[in-house]
A and B are shown apart, each in its own frame.
Chain A
């Protein structure tokens, strides 16, 4: 019998308990269907990684991913800004990514929403201890962009409502 997708995901990311993992491997080595499904999951992962590395995707990222990208020798162009900040920014042909490091008072904040001219992005990842939100626009689209201004607002959201944490302005020019 073929394994559930969730089991394949847990196996791949090392989330199965040791004994269950050993039993699953016994099954996998005798199951063509599971081998095919796992190979598809691995291929999907490779495609996600490639899409990210090639700049096709935007994301608000964790510090851990930021550090992993640095370790992988990706060329990151960083802009750091506090609340009320404004920055002239660009992306050059040799940059792999632009990472905007938005600092804000995030201690005790439970949820952060990021609002831009393009829309509202709910519950973005943030590092409360470091007081930072790391915004990573899709480099591919950014490299094709002309001059524009982007307004960003960070909001703390909880049961009582929402409050602004900071406003940030990017003045983008092509390189």
Chain B
């Protein structure tokens, strides 16, 4: 089902709910909102809160038939993410009332099955990197803003690309 069709299905059934359409909406957008939240908030719990809040706000809008351009559903969800994250940084995030009114089943928001990496294989692939590459990869994922002495930000970026490319290929070979 296209985004626009999904948005219209949810709006059409109001004030009743269309559980199938709403579940599909959550399945489709929860991972995107979660990744957006992880990227901008760098915190799993805050990202999970963002998913709840953004999906609820969007559903509220859809159920009320207030989304003017259903074909732009994805843009609307992204815009809502941006607004909520801005509010989060301003410390004025609203949440409680919407959670009470439109509580979404947690299982609808659970992460897709996370990919499991075999630890010994990953350790071997990390060992196969050069010393600089390994340091940059570990540093980057341990704390994203980390700097490497003697390397410019541009150099770190180049090393990171190369290292992650090698790591991905090495893990796929397993």
CA distance A12 to B157 in the complex (A): 12
List of A residues within 8 angstroms of B9 by Cβ: none
Residue B13 lies at the interface, judged by CB distance under 8 Å to chain A:
no
| Chain B positions 1 through 35: 1 when the CB is less than 8 Å from some CB of chain A, otherwise 0 | 00100000000000000000000000011011001
Residue B131 lies at the interface, judged by CB distance under 8 Å to chain A:
yes
Residue B110 lies at the interface, judged by CB distance under 8 Å to chain A:
no
B interface size (C-beta, 8 A) = 49
State whether B157 touches A10 (Cβ < 8 A). Answer: yes
Interface of A is mostly: helix
State whether A47 touches B117 (Cβ < 8 A). Answer: yes
Residue B87 lies at the interface, judged by CB distance under 8 Å to chain A:
no
Question: Apart from A29-B74, A32-B28, A65-B135, what 10 extra A-B contacts exist at CB < 8 Å?
Answer: A26-B74, A45-B140, A60-B131, A61-B139, A68-B139, A68-B143, A122-B131, A124-B132, A125-B132, A125-B148
Residue A129 lies at the interface, judged by CB distance under 8 Å to chain B:
yes
Number of A-B contacts (CB under 8 A): 148
Which A-chain residue is minimally distant from B120 (CB atoms)?
A: A56
Task: State the B residues within 8 Å of A (CB).
Answer: 3, 28-29, 31-32, 35-36, 38-39, 74-75, 77-78, 112, 114-115, 117, 119-120, 122-123, 126-127, 130-132, 134-135, 137-144, 146-150, 157, 160-161, 164-165, 167-168, 171
- With A13-B160, A125-B148 in contact, do A57 and B138 touch (Cβ < 8 Å)? yes
State whether B115 touches A64 (Cβ < 8 A). Answer: no
List of B residues within 8 angstroms of A29 by Cβ: 29, 32, 36, 74-75, 77-78
State whether B149 touches A127 (Cβ < 8 A). Answer: yes
A interface size (C-beta, 8 A) = 56
CA distance A46 to B117 in the complex (A): 10
List of B residues within 8 angstroms of A79 by Cβ: none
List of A residues within 8 angstroms of B144 by Cβ: 12-14
- With A48-B138, A59-B138, A65-B143 in contact, do A9 and B39 touch (Cβ < 8 Å)? no
Which of A46, A54, A127 has the most chain B CB within a 10 Å cutoff? Answer: A46
List of B residues within 8 angstroms of A60 by Cβ: 131, 135
- Give min CB distance, A118 to chain B, whole Å: 12
Interface of B is mostly: helix
State whether B114 touches A26 (Cβ < 8 A). Answer: no
State whether A25 touches B142 (Cβ < 8 A). Answer: no
Identify the stretch in A34-42, A85-93, A148-156, A158-166 within 8 Å (CB) of chain B at 4 or more residues: A34-42
Q: Per a CB cutoff under 8 Å, which of B3, B38, B141, B150 touches A48?
A: B141
A-B contact pairs, 16 of them (CB 8 A): A11-B39, A13-B144, A14-B144, A25-B36, A29-B32, A39-B31, A39-B35, A43-B117, A44-B115, A48-B122, A48-B138, A57-B123, A58-B127, A64-B149, A68-B142, A125-B149
- Give min CB distance, A87 to chain B, whole Å: 22
- Top 5 A-B residue pairs of the complex, sorted by shortest distance between their CB atoms: A47-B117, A45-B141, A29-B74, A68-B143, A56-B123
State whether A128 touches B150 (Cβ < 8 A). Answer: yes
